[in-house]
Structure 1
Amino acid sequence: MANHNREGIIYAVAAYSIWGILPIFWKHIVDVAADEVLANRIFWSFWFMIVLLIFSKKFPLLIKSLKQFQEKPKKLVALAAASILVSGNWFLFIWAVNNDKVVESSLGYYINPLVSIILGIIFLKESLSKIQIISFFLALMGVLILTFSYGKFPWVSFGLAISFGVYGLVKKMIKVDSSIGLALETLVIMPIAFIYLCIQMINGSSALFSGSFLTDILLIASGAITAIPLLFFAKGVQKIPLYLMGFIQYIAPTMMLILGVFLYGEPFGATRLIAFAFIWGALALVTLSSLNWSYVKGRNRKKVA
């Protein structure tokens, strides 16, 4: 069980670390409209997954899963819901970046872990220890400080947090191989993305293959950039409790903050410092309690032996 959790934690940390540095990538295609970026992300993610499945010799398993989903329509509906949720999340984030709402979107990724923790408790009957409950309220205080300091209701933040939080819950409940699941998710929405890209090209308004080689490469690469962390996320969320995934999620917005302050020169005032102190205090408590619990279990095993 310990090894199982350790592997899940590694995948989760990898996913959120990649998401944490993604603003560097998206900054290079900020001139492309949000809806076109989204269509490219979906279209190229699907083909990246097909290539990956062929090379990993899992393509026959994809065909088999498609046949099984015909017999289990509820599972197919759940996958379709996951596809719509993650696509909506992508669009909202791209739109926020293009409309100078980076601060509001980053706040969403701080609210997201709290949503995951609450969903895990309500729907999966996960329980928190006393220290984890204290950590939850410390993190909540930090998020509330950030929310009120923003000055108005951050609907973009809550849209991002809720859409990805529910997506994580759906992925947790669907028992399917992570690569197969992601291929099926992108398959559900890919035809719409393909039709949109075709219309853009016919109208002559497409940024793809319009003369900028760098833009073409970045839009095509957005498939792999999108799929790889989602694969890691899917593997991680199947192996560890949703509440633990919730705390690990703070890695991404913290890395975004570091990039914003030190790479892009965005301001970081006293209010944010106080809020981050609450959030990092919560993470420190969870980490120390987890290490202590692992130590106690190890001591107990030695006594039994």
Structure 2
Amino acid sequence: MNPIRLGYLYGLGAYLLWGFFPLYLKLLRPAGPMEILAHRIVWSVAFVALLLAAMRNVGFLRALLRRPRALAGIAAAAALIAVNWGTYIYGVNSDRVVETALGYFINPLVSVLLGVFVLQERLRPAQWAALGVGALAVAVLTVDYGRLPYLALTLAFSFACYGFVKKRLGLPAAEGLFVESAVLALPALAYLGWLSLRGDSAFGHVSTGHTVLLVLAGAATAIPLLLFAGAANRLPLSGLGMLQYLAPILQLGCGVLIFHEPMPPARLAGFALVWLALIVFTADALRQAHQSRTRPRTPTDSQPPVPTPTAP
């Protein structure tokens, strides 16, 4: 199969799985958000360890242990992704899927903010316009909710910071997920043990199907990331960037159409402003990518970074 076509198939597979992830998380109740998060971490380690063993790819750990700065970066990435996962699980299982979708819509705009304040990047006028419209959207949604949409902002900022750290580390998807989950595995196991001692654990006490679904949380975490890695290796940046909006669109659809969460006019107006900001942002990015392809390249030109996945 043509590599580009295969890349789009991988990308669609990843974003479809992420888009319908709220349906899976709802099935894990009555387990609480922290218990679901702990199982997701523990079974991710187990699943990816088996995968790496099958690929005979465990030598990277020895090299990694000789890089203390990389280990510190992995610990930071692990903490950020734990915050992101935990917030997302809490949002879905507290019937706020629409707000979690908002977080992943505004995530690209937060990434641009990081570029300005952390990397001192200079923005183009269209990017400033997109950020301004995005800020207005947050203000409108704050009025609608009667509070800051803190779940959405936590998801957006935690994942943008996670993507920033991951770009600096440069670890492949499977290896990165294994090490990050391994960092969190001991606290997760300790928490699950404490729940079990208290008699509050849902694992093994609801039904066989529920127990199997908790175990499958590791595969549900790893498979979309591996599909995304396959897409990132084959697709141009513009194609991958367009696909990333599929997941929050599907999540929003799940919240409104399947879980019947409210979407009053003011909230719809806030989302419309977010979409307008993303249209401006994406159009500018596509125009810039086209100009980069058409102008003669020099040896000093750098390749654009591959965007991190918009993943719950």
Class of the TM-score when normalised by the shorter of the 2 chains: 0.7 to 0.9
By how many angstroms is 1:297 displaced?
Answer: 5.8
Between 103-112 and 244-253, report the one with greater CA deviation.
244-253
User: Letter of the aligned partner of 1:43 in structure 2?
Assistant: V
> Are 1:30 and 2:25 an aligned pair?
no
Partner in structure 1 of residue 306 of structure 2: none
CA distance in 1, matches of 2:166, 2:177: 10
Which runs of structure 2 are paired with 1:176-255 in the superposition (5 Å)?
176-210=171-205, 212-231=207-226, 250-255=245-250
Q: Contact (CA 8 Å) 2:133, 2:274: kept in 1 or not?
A: yes
> Are 1:89 and 2:89 an aligned pair?
no
By how many angstroms is 1:81 displaced?
Answer: 1.0
Partner in structure 2 of residue 149 of structure 1: 144
Partner in structure 1 of residue 93 of structure 2: 98
By how many angstroms is 1:237 displaced?
Answer: 8.2
Q: 2:127 aligns with which of 129, 132, 135?
A: 132
Q: 2:163 aligns with which of 168, 185, 195?
A: 168
Change (3 A) 1:299 1:227: closer
CA distance in 2, matches of 1:239, 1:119: 27
Q: Contact (CA 8 Å) 1:44, 1:223: kept in 2 or not?
A: yes
> Are 1:21 and 2:20 an aligned pair?
yes
Which runs of structure 2 are paired with 1:267-286 in the superposition (5 Å)?
267-286=262-281
Identity, % of aligned pairs? 37
Q: What stretches of structure 1 of length at least 5 have no aligned partner? A: none
TM-score (norm 2): 0.78
Please give the root-mean-square deviation of Cα atoms over the aligned residues, in Å: 3.6
Change (3 A) 1:23 1:272: same
CA distance in 2, matches of 1:110, 1:186: 25
Between 255-264 and 202-211, report the one with greater CA deviation.
202-211
Partner in structure 2 of residue 113 of structure 1: 108
CA distance in 1, matches of 2:213, 2:110: 32
Q: Contact (CA 8 Å) 2:103, 2:154: kept in 1 or not?
A: yes
CA distance in 2, matches of 1:92, 1:285: 28
CA distance in 2, matches of 1:7, 1:174: 27
Q: Contact (CA 8 Å) 2:116, 2:122: kept in 1 or not?
A: yes
> Deviation digits for residues 139-171 of structure 1, max 9, x if unmatched?
333333223321113333332222222111111
> Deviation digits for residues 89-141 of structure 1, max 9, x if unmatched?
21222223334444443443344332211113333455543333333333333
User: Letter of the aligned partner of 1:40 in structure 2?
Assistant: H
By how many angstroms is 1:41 displaced?
Answer: 0.3
Q: Contact (CA 8 Å) 1:8, 1:239: kept in 2 or not?
A: yes
Count of matched residue pairs: 294
CA distance in 1, matches of 2:90, 2:207: 22
Change (3 A) 1:99 1:260: closer
Q: Contact (CA 8 Å) 2:110, 2:160: kept in 1 or not?
A: yes
Q: Contact (CA 8 Å) 1:96, 1:105: kept in 2 or not?
A: yes
> Are 1:263 and 2:258 an aligned pair?
yes
Q: Contact (CA 8 Å) 2:98, 2:261: kept in 1 or not?
A: no
Change (3 A) 1:56 1:169: same
Q: Contact (CA 8 Å) 1:116, 1:243: kept in 2 or not?
A: no
By how many angstroms is 1:66 displaced?
Answer: 2.4
> Deviation digits for residues 165-212 of structure 1, max 9, x if unmatched?
211111111122221111111111112222332343344432222250
Partner in structure 2 of residue 56 of structure 1: 55
